[in-house]
Amino acid sequence: LKKLKGNWIIEPYKWTMLGYRMKHKLYEKKSKFQKIEVYETLKNGNIMLLDGCFMLTEKEEFVYHEMIAHVPLFSHPKPERVLVIGGGDGGTVREVLKHKVVKQVDFVEIDEEVIKASKKYFRGLTSWMRDKNEKRVNVISTDGCKFIKKKKNYYDVVLIDSTDPVDIGMVLFTKEFYENVRRALRKNGIVVAQTEEPFFSGHMIKFIQKRIRHAFGRKNTHLYLAAIPTYPSGTWSFTFASRGITPLTIRNMNS
């Protein structure tokens, strides 16, 4: 390593590494589930880490949150009931709420401490929590994997804004879970999950796709990518699966 000016926060990822210049640590807590850290970076706003992995920076988070939410919500003809699993930072729910057609959002995050930290340090992502006129969201602090088992034929869109498929995140990548997601969707239902990056973890994408295809069928399962500088390789993948609707047919935003 060269000598570097200033302080840096880095994420080693396999045989690669990403880093940001930082000003100082704002927060650190070991919750029941994971280690939560927040730093102020020099130019990218605050950054959150869970178990040492970069989750989001204030400057760049819009790409991930817009891409996980709007692709399925604009693909569905009438997305009224939405379930968000994970995404305790609040950004995915913020994007979902931009769709006026949405009547109910169940926001299931296992770790309340992530929500608390986000309320304080990521105010742009959690502004909807402070909006007294926003009554569409139920914040539910429980295990999304157990929660979804009880729901049948209920949601129009399910968004799986999980951490990586290790430790607590792993249950959100099992065959059983995807089967339960499919059962929780009603007619025309769509699920989108974050599914890792293609350059260093292509095998993971294949592995996850295989499981999702098993539940939804090959012709109902699609992959799409987004450019996200916060994550390893700078390219991230999402898997779109549905009970029949394809994202390749675009609905007019004004319809």
44 contributes a contact to a copy of itself by CB under 8 A: yes
19 contributes a contact to a copy of itself by CB under 8 A: yes
C-alpha 114 chain-centroid distance: 13
Among the listed residues 141, 142, 225, 244, the single contact to a copy of itself using CB under 8 A: 225
Give strand pairing partners of 25.
39
Among the listed residues 14, 32, 100, 150, the single contact to a copy of itself using CB under 8 A: 14
Among the listed residues 2, 100, 130, 150, the single contact to a copy of itself using CB under 8 A: 2
18 CB burial (10 A radius; 0-12, 13-18, 19+): middle
DSSP state of 244: S
Please state the closest distance from residue 217 (CB atom) to a copy of itself, in A. Answer: 28
8 contributes a contact to a copy of itself by CB under 8 A: yes
Residue with tokens 């608390």: 116
Q: How far apart are CA 160 and CA 84, in angstroms?
A: 6
Helix axes 202-216, 175-184, angle to 10 degrees: 50
21 contributes a contact to a copy of itself by CB under 8 A: yes
- Please list the active-site residues: 161
Helices (H) and strands (E) in the chain, counts: 6, 12
Among the listed residues 29, 30, 42, 138, the single contact to a copy of itself using CB under 8 A: 42
Per-residue contact string for residues 50-89; x = within reach of a copy of itself by CB under 8 A: --x-------x-----------------------------
Helix (H) or strand (E) holding 41: strand 35-41
Please state the closest distance from residue 241 (CB atom) to a copy of itself, in A. Answer: 23
35 contributes a contact to a copy of itself by CB under 8 A: no
Helix (H) or strand (E) holding 139: strand 137-140
For a copy of itself, the closer of residues 34 and 44 by Cβ is 44
